[in-house]
Structure 1
């Protein structure tokens, strides 16, 4: 029996060596989770019914479990390098199958899909108009096409006009400095994305009354109604009641006629305070053609495409997954796992919700292998192997002694 017991010990020590060597081999594998062997004794019953004489018959490997504790997160210079801080896995499409991984080294293939080195596609939710994740996760595909231009139509003007400014009596003439009180430059864009130079002039014609003039490419635009702003004694706009001045459509060569509305009562309203003229806001809604400049991913996994014209487009939101029993997952290679009956069904959500961690872009999760600990395990496994081999040698000598008896 000692032979069988020692052999089981040798097998256990070999298993421990295999696991430790695999952990050590993957010490630099991103998202790798170390394994741990769990052993139990083999008990075959009592000797002649006397429990105190019961002897175990060796050891067996009861389970090999992976440890899903967090690895260190290190920064990189690639926005498509992703790490999960906390629980959860990335959901990947593997030719129609589902694979789950903590390794977040991704890139973009020639079709715009975000994939890892094994060609597995990163899954994401589509987003609705409010920017909320919706629907079923699908492979994330980055739209690399240019953003079409948008013609300017509305400008939010937030300036402070001087309450102490002198009244202007000269007829307005943009070439004569003394014929207006203040001015500000604005850039407009037509339907083709071409820029046009605009200048907004303010002329104080009476106490608390300012006349406005808008020029585009040197030509004055015609207001649809009055373009005079009246302030109350509190320094706020009294008229027009809406705070808006609209202009007739202006012809633009080769492009759609441009219709502009200036809003003086936006988020930063125009006022008349003190004796300092200041421009606090000049925001217009037009822009020229934009080319993809960068991809940014926030901590909830929302993927934004940034363009050269200052615009951004929400491309989707990463789908993260967790399981009731992560120990029940089965390894699939390429730093991935697949679900099993033991793991339970995938619990899908977005970063920062429920039991899911947050997403860190430009970072990767290191292996959680403790190299020093694994080297100690190697020594222990070696000693266990030597000790069990010694048991076999001892049993062999005892057997030889019995065989040599005359």
Structure 2
């Protein structure tokens, strides 16, 4: 090969390192290009000239270097927030799919916009973005949605387990009446003397009249119990129960009967006959309950105290109430919002009622016969919302009745008659899962119940759109509703290195890359889609500058080979002299 071999080898080295400089320069020039994937150049040696063999080893002289390959590095770039809703980035190996007319292109850069027809396009090339079905995507600017009547409302939050107010619609004794530690059930109230109660420190005395003659008996006055009350209208009063008299009696049941008749005005004293403003009874947990006969009025209060100073039965008890009120909006068929107040009234330990009410100008509730079939009542209450000792919901709707007066259990549907509407509207209240705390639950940390979700809405107009990580685009409307627009299509390839760059951050498939595998975000290796972000260039500046130094030195060394070979050739020419 002679001295010319060194010259040609140096030339190949200069050309190859020039190509490396070109690759490095292109990488550095695109260091701020969103979605750019850096290129890597690899050298390979040229065929070697055989000079024979020395022993067993061949003698060869290489003929220089060539560019072996230039490939793209598809490592993940950092996602940078742009706060532009039309910017999209992929965290994964997928590509956005763009239609260029006669073929598809693929891009890692989601710098999208809409054209004059509101079709989603790539802002640089103008190519149309495709959805999961391979169709173009239209952003529905100016679109509207019709109103939806409310049919279901989900409630969530807490109801306090311990009564805390001195007045309310229902009053519950703070602790149970017990005898030898056992709660006095309602069936035993008629045989349980007040003196037998565990909290009674000194027995009540019955009246004993003065008797003349020997032996003389001193007159003994009977002990009295004072009952103070306030009716739901705010009128206060008090009456006195005299222990041991024929009219008043001595048992727990006698005391309850006295209060019902003398304080609350119940003419029978045994059951609510419609003349009383409240009714007092005892449950099987040993607690006395006072219930108002005027739903919605919560000014009822009651206290029992011993007039005599040597007894302490009632000093340990209070009548307390728990009532919590919240509100929500229910929409009729025309999308008119009606404000509805929801009042939760504690009826017993772990038992609540929920009553709905609204202004008469907004409407009323349907009526039906009650369980006795002789009165009509508003169908506006969900009864017996019951919780277990852990505070989890057990059931709701017991003791509700349908239009025929038949019991309906676990019924949580109320019927509204909105003003201006000819037909009634049933609305189901979802209170949660039985045995769980995913809806309403009871706790000792106060009450806070809200309507967390509902399916009703007023009419609305398009305001913006949102994007899920699976690439689903949803239109958002002014009434708070949303609807799916489309789902972005992504593509993956068996050999991602086989893609060909087409400029404008686009790639084309080749025989080497294989056919694209079309998919959507969140599936396999395609990755997740993020709106308001762009993927930054993955060029490593430090690495590229180091390579730049290496390329420069390689270029210089190959130049020295050429000049040295030239000097040697000059000396050979001078031999003729």
Global fold match (TM > 0.5) = yes
Equivalent residues in 2 for 1:126-275, closer than 5 Å: 136-144=133-141, 145-155=143-153, 164=171, 166-170=290-294, 184-199=326-341, 212=355, 214-215=357-358, 218=361, 220-223=363-366, 225=368, 227=379, 229-231=382-384, 236-240=396-400, 241-247=409-415, 250=418, 252=420, 257=422, 259-264=424-429, 266-267=431-432
Asked if structure 1 preserves the Cα contact closer than 8 Å seen for 2:147 and 2:459, the reply is yes
Q: What whole-Å deviation, never above 9, does each CA across 1:341-385 have from its counterpart, x for those lacking one?
A: 111221222223222222233222111111122222222222222
Q: Secondary structure at 1:55's aligned position in 2? A: strand
Partners in 1 of 2:71 and 2:121 — Cα distance?
Answer: 28
Q: Secondary structure at 1:138's aligned position in 2? A: coil
Partners in 1 of 2:354 and 2:548 — Cα distance?
Answer: 86
Q: What whole-Å deviation, never above 9, does each CA across 1:242-286 have from its counterpart, x for those lacking one?
A: 51445375452xxx6453223345437789999x87644375432
Give the drift of 1:196: 3.3
Asked if structure 2 preserves the Cα contact closer than 8 Å seen for 1:237 and 1:271, the reply is no
Asked if structure 2 preserves the Cα contact closer than 8 Å seen for 1:146 and 1:289, the reply is yes
Partners in 2 of 1:85 and 1:186 — Cα distance?
Answer: 40
Asked if structure 1 preserves the Cα contact closer than 8 Å seen for 2:382 and 2:396, the reply is no
Give the drift of 1:92: 2.0
Q: What whole-Å deviation, never above 9, does each CA across 1:302-336 have from its counterpart, x for those lacking one?
A: 22332221112222222222211111111111111
Give the drift of 1:143: 2.3
Is residue 456 of structure 2 the alignment partner of residue 286 of structure 1? yes
Aligned-pair Cα RMSD in Å = 3.6
Equivalence for 1:133: none
Asked if structure 2 preserves the Cα contact closer than 8 Å seen for 1:92 and 1:122, the reply is yes
Give the drift of 1:151: 2.5
44 and 220 in structure 1: CA distance in 2 versus 1, 3 angstrom threshold: closer
Partners in 2 of 1:310 and 1:320 — Cα distance?
Answer: 29
Q: Secondary structure at 2:512's aligned position in 1? A: coil
Give the drift of 1:67: 1.0
Partners in 2 of 1:203 and 1:392 — Cα distance?
Answer: 99
Partners in 1 of 2:171 and 2:490 — Cα distance?
Answer: 60
Partners in 2 of 1:9 and 1:216 — Cα distance?
Answer: 91
Asked if structure 1 preserves the Cα contact closer than 8 Å seen for 2:96 and 2:129, the reply is yes
Q: What whole-Å deviation, never above 9, does each CA across 1:53-98 have from its counterpart, x for those lacking one?
A: 3111111111111111122222221233222223222222222421
247 and 336 in structure 1: CA distance in 2 versus 1, 3 angstrom threshold: same
Equivalence for 2:468: 298
Taking structure 1 as the reference length, the TM-score comes to 0.81
188 and 96 in structure 1: CA distance in 2 versus 1, 3 angstrom threshold: farther
Asked if structure 1 preserves the Cα contact closer than 8 Å seen for 2:152 and 2:429, the reply is no
Structure 1 residue ranges without an equivalent (≥5): 126-135
Asked if structure 1 preserves the Cα contact closer than 8 Å seen for 2:361 and 2:419, the reply is no
Q: Secondary structure at 1:262's aligned position in 2? A: strand
Q: Secondary structure at 2:98's aligned position in 1? A: strand
Partners in 1 of 2:571 and 2:106 — Cα distance?
Answer: 59
Task: Name the larger-Rg structure.
Answer: 2
62 and 204 in structure 1: CA distance in 2 versus 1, 3 angstrom threshold: closer
Equivalence for 1:69: 75
Asked if structure 1 preserves the Cα contact closer than 8 Å seen for 2:49 and 2:63, the reply is no
Q: Secondary structure at 2:9's aligned position in 1? A: helix
Partners in 2 of 1:210 and 1:11 — Cα distance?
Answer: 88
Equivalence for 2:491: 321
277 and 15 in structure 1: CA distance in 2 versus 1, 3 angstrom threshold: closer
Asked if structure 1 preserves the Cα contact closer than 8 Å seen for 2:146 and 2:460, the reply is yes
Tell which deviates more after alignment, 11-20 or 51-60: 51-60
Asked if structure 2 preserves the Cα contact closer than 8 Å seen for 1:155 and 1:261, the reply is no
Q: Secondary structure at 1:64's aligned position in 2? A: strand
Is residue 128 of structure 2 the alignment partner of residue 121 of structure 1? yes
Partners in 2 of 1:210 and 1:41 — Cα distance?
Answer: 88
